[in-house]
């Protein structure tokens, strides 16, 4: 398999999940600015959407969108319990988390990274994100991970997206449960391996 990624982008989530899975894969950097690979290949010829992540399977099929990719990876190694079994209520709870992170958190960060967005607009999105993270913090009150006692693919996604706060002036330090979660995640060997591979950790 090949994972097309950009350092620190949302593609860090499936990168972490691949490390957790133990499956063999090749990480290929695709610049989100130039939309080119290191060898000059136009990334749009690989993914017409132009963004990461993209997972290329051994048979040549390509799967895009992080929440779909991480569930695919999890289902290849059911013994690792990275996601509940398909068809169970717990699996739908996982999808609930992935959708929330994708639509309510991830997309609300996008305007904060846009240099053309006016400050008043950014203030609206910061307020919205703080409200959403308040809900996340409450969910983590009595459990170490989003789904309970054990790590799941939703945790990788939440870790990556919450980590963007430091780059856009979103102070999440007041959310003690979230901060404890981020600390647990940062200590996981797979997280450290993925971040080192992307040049985010020394």
Residues 164-202: tens digit of each pLDDT: 999 999 999 999 999 999 999 999 999 999 999 999 998
Considering the domain architecture, whether residues 183 and 125 belong to the same structural domain is answered as yes
Q: Name the β-bridge partners of 63.
A: 55
Q: Where are the beta strands (DSSP E) in 60-123?
A: 62-64
Considering the domain architecture, whether residues 21 and 93 belong to the same structural domain is answered as no
Query: What total number of domains does the chain contain?
Result: 2
Inside any domain, residue 172: yes
Provide the pLDDT for residue 202: 83
Residue 129's pLDDT band (boundaries 50, 70, 90)? Answer: very high
Please list, in sequence order, all residues whose beta carbon lies within 8 angstroms of the beta carbon of residue 142, skipping any fewer than 6 positions away. none
Taking only the tens place, the pLDDT of each residue in 65-119 is 999 999 999 999 999 999 999 999 999 999 999 999 999 999 999 999 999 999 9
Considering the domain architecture, whether residues 128 and 38 belong to the same structural domain is answered as no
Element at 33 (helix H, strand E): none
Q: List the domain range (segments joined by +) for residue 97.
A: 89-188
Inside any domain, residue 202: no
């Amino acid at each position: 398999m090949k994972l097309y990624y950009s350092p620190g982008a949302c593609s860090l989530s499936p990168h972490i999940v691949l490390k957790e899975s133990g499956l063999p894969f090749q990480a290929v950097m695709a610049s989100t600015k130039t939309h080119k690979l290191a060898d000059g290949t136009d990334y749009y010829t690989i993914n017409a959407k132009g963004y990461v992540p993209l997972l290329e399977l051994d048979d040549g099929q390509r799967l895009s969108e992080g929440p779909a990719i991480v569930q695919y990876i999890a289902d290849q190694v059911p013994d690792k319990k990275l996601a509940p079994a398909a068809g169970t209520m717990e699996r739908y709870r996982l999808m609930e988390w992935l959708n929330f992170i994708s639509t309510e958190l991830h997309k609300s960060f996008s305007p904060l990274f846009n240099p053309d967005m006016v400050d008043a607009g950014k203030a609206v999105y910061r307020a919205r994100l703080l409200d959403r993270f308040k809900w996340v913090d409450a969910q983590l009150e009595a459990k170490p991970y989003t789904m309970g006692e054990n790590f799941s693919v939703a945790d990788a996604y939440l870790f990556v997206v919450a980590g963007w706060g430091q780059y856009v002036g979103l102070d999440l330090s007041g959310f003690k449960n979230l901060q404890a979660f981020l600390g647990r995640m940062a200590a996981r060997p797979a997280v450290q391996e993925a971040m080192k591979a992307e040049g985010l950790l020394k």
